[in-house]
A and B are shown apart, each in its own frame.
Chain A
Amino acid sequence: MSRHKTAGLTVALRSILVAGVLFGNSGITTDASASPVTYTIFAVTDVSLGGHFYHNAQVYFKFSGDTSDIQSFNVTSPDGGQASGSEITKGEASLLIMSGGHHIKAKFLPNQIMISLDGDNGGVGFGSLTGPNGLEPAYPLAIVTYTPNDLVTSAAYSGDAWSCIGFPPDVSDGGTGYCSDPTAFPLKTDRGDFFIYQPYLFYEDGSFEPVGTLDGYEGSINNGIFSVLGQ
């Protein structure tokens, strides 16, 4: 997978999803089948819930929806990048934090969490309708991985874990080189505001991106596991 292709297409994905979610973009089609589907993603990372900080906690996200609400898209961004994949915004999302022998569960308030799959570029995970542009495909948690099949077939995938507001961060693709501080973008739960951080990073040496910035492919050295529990 090309780093730059990934970044460009993520920009395209972000644009089309914002349009589709907010304005019912006609470029998005709806899959016809209808059956329950559940998505989970897991990583060990730093989070904060209701003012409590948890370091290197086991963090599980869960999203329950219906396959009839999965929408597909195939778009071209202004810079010429191609993107196609699937997304679902209608469903219930929850969270489990396991840390120091404690288990903390919370439910996300509606209309915040979405699942998206960038089939062209190999990215899948839990995005959110937040951030400075109103949509973040890699926040709270997504993985960069080889191309998943779809958002229907039961399977698990592993990859580099990103919790990044401003993904992709690549300067060469118009990013700032960094992920934004999530403090200004709390995700609302029934147990207070939730934030997730990205403590384990690898910085560029100037070969492809400016020294000290993040590359959207290899910048994260943490990992996650995403699962589809469907048919």
Chain B
Amino acid sequence: MKQLVIVRIALAVIFIITGIARADPVVYTLYAVTAGRLGSQTFSQTEVVITFKGDTRNVAIENESGAVVYRNNQGEATVTLVQKGKKSVAHIGKGQIYVRYDITNGVVGFGSAISPTYPISLSSDIVGALSDIAAHPGDAARYSDLSGLHMNLNETTLLTGVISACAVAYTYSCPTAPTTLIHTDKGDFFVQDQGNFDEGIFTVTVGKEDQEEDAGEK
């Protein structure tokens, strides 16, 4: 009986240690150029950076209508506008956005109650290439070596793509701003892409994050 208790305790300790080992801080960052509004400040042709800090233990894999989707719903998000070299940082309300990577269709970015691909998502480029290779391994010859890039939200990687920042159906461009906005500590926020096929950068950084503020002026 005593041995059984010891075994159970040992298994519990192993489980806890394993759980801790799989729990790493993670930062998801999307860089783009687009238009929109933050509080009373409208902007266009502006660099917008959305950052989401979370933990890899909260990454879940889901099946959405046959598509394999990684999601991380828990974290703290900010939106930063970079205008004339100055940054305006707003904290996005808790639960307003989540991280989503549809590896079947090649779409990565941030989703919300407004849409799973809004406020902003990327497709094509590296995101599209990885999904292409996953579906058709022979297509790997069409690309340089992408084997060091990861199709999940648990490992440090780089993903790039054409941005979509539209809450409604596209016509030629995004016709209107959303009626439901994202709440931040600097007022309501929305983005609306300008139909210029703007390109974006999405990074996943696991573990120690870069301290961008310490770097001084870029």
Please give the residue numbers on chain A whose beta carbons come within 8 Å of chain B beta carbons, in ascending order: 38, 40, 42-44, 55-56, 58, 60, 62, 96, 98-101, 103, 105, 143, 145-146, 154-160, 199-203, 205, 221-225, 227, 229
Is B64 among interface residues, defined by CB-CB distance under 8 A? no
Known A103-B210, A145-B199, A156-B33; further 14 A-B contacts with Cβ < 8 A: A42-B201, A100-B210, A101-B208, A103-B214, A105-B215, A156-B82, A158-B33, A160-B125, A160-B199, A200-B160, A222-B125, A223-B161, A225-B31, A227-B82
Contact of B200 among A96, A146, A157, A223 (CB under 8 A): A223
Supply 7 A–B pairs (Cβ within 8 Å), ascending by A: A38-B85, A40-B218, A103-B211, A158-B200, A201-B143, A222-B125, A223-B160
Find the residue from B142, B145, B209 having the highest chain A CB count within 10 A: B142
B46 within 8 A of A: yes
Interface residues in B169-199 by Cβ distance below 8 A to A read 196-199
Residues of chain A with a CB closer than 8 A to B126's CB: 200, 221-222
Interface size classification for chain B: 35 or more
Which listed residue, A43, A203, A222, A229, touches B85 by the CB 8 Å rule? A229
Q: List the B residue with the shortest CB-CB distance to A144.
A: B199
Question: Is A146's CB under 8 angstroms from B144's CB?
Answer: no
Q: Which residues in B have their C-beta under 8 angstroms from that of A56?
A: 148, 156-158
Residues of B within 8 A of A (CB): 31-33, 45-47, 82-85, 125-126, 129, 141-146, 148, 156-158, 160-161, 163, 196-201, 203, 208-212, 214-218
Knowing A98-B212, A155-B45, A223-B125 touch, does A199 contact B199 (C-beta < 8 A)? no
Chain A residues contacting B144 (CB-CB under 8 Å) are: 199-201, 203
A-B contact count (CB 8 A): 106
A112 and B161 CA atoms in complex are apart in Å by 31
Least Cβ distance of A225 to chain B in Å? 6
* A229 contacts across to B, CB distance below 8 A: 84-85
Q: B210 to A227, Cβ gap below 8 A? A: no
Check if A221 sits within 8 Å of B160, measured CB to CB: yes
Given A158-B200, A223-B125, A225-B201, decide whether A203 and B143 contact each other with a Cβ distance below 8 A: yes
Q: How far is the CB of B32 from chain A (nearest CB, A)?
A: 7
Question: What CA separation (Å) do A99 and B178 show in the bound complex?
Answer: 37
Q: How far is the CA of A43 from the CA of B143 in the complex (A)?
A: 19
Query: What residues of chain A lie closer than 8 Å to B215, measured between beta carbons?
Result: 96, 98, 103, 105
